Amino acid sequence: MTNNINITLNDTRYDLKKGSSISQALDILNINSDKPKLTDFVIALNQTFIPRSQYPNTQLQNNDVIELLSPMAGG
C-alpha cells in the first residue's frame, strides 16, 4: 500500500503525499512562490471550480485533475 497519490496539474502528472490538500499541493509544487500569485488564477478540480477559501480543506484523491486557469473578465 502506497502513501502517495498521482494527480494531474495542467496536463503534467505529479506524485503527492496521500491526504494532501490543494493548498499543500500548491506549496509542494512551488505554485505559491513568487509567480504566479494565488490571486492570479482559479482552480478547477475535476472540472469543478473550488473557492480559494476551500483550498486548505479540499483533500486530493488519486487521479484528481487540477487545472490552474487565469480569471477572465468579459461579458
- Its domain, for residue 29, covers 4-69
Q: Is residue 53 assigned to a domain?
A: yes
How confident is the model over 45-60, as pLDDT tens digits? 999 999 999 999 999 9
> Considering its fold, how many domains does the chain have in total?
1
User: Which parts of the chain register pLDDT below 70?
Assistant: 1, 31-39, 71-75
Q: Can you give the pLDDT at residue 32?
A: 55
Amino acid (one-letter) located at 19: G
Q: Is residue 74 assigned to a domain?
A: no
Q: Is residue 56 assigned to a domain?
A: yes
Q: Is residue 75 assigned to a domain?
A: no
User: In Å, what is the CA distance from 9 to each residue of 17, 22, 37?
Assistant: 15, 11, 16
Q: Can you give the pLDDT at residue 60?
A: 97
Q: Can you give the pLDDT at residue 45?
A: 98
Report the predicted TM-score, pTM, of the whole model to 2 decimal places. Answer: 0.80
Cell of 75: 461579458
Q: Is residue 60 assigned to a domain?
A: yes
Q: Can you give the pLDDT at residue 48?
A: 97
Indicate which CATH number applies to the domain containing 39: 3.10.20.30
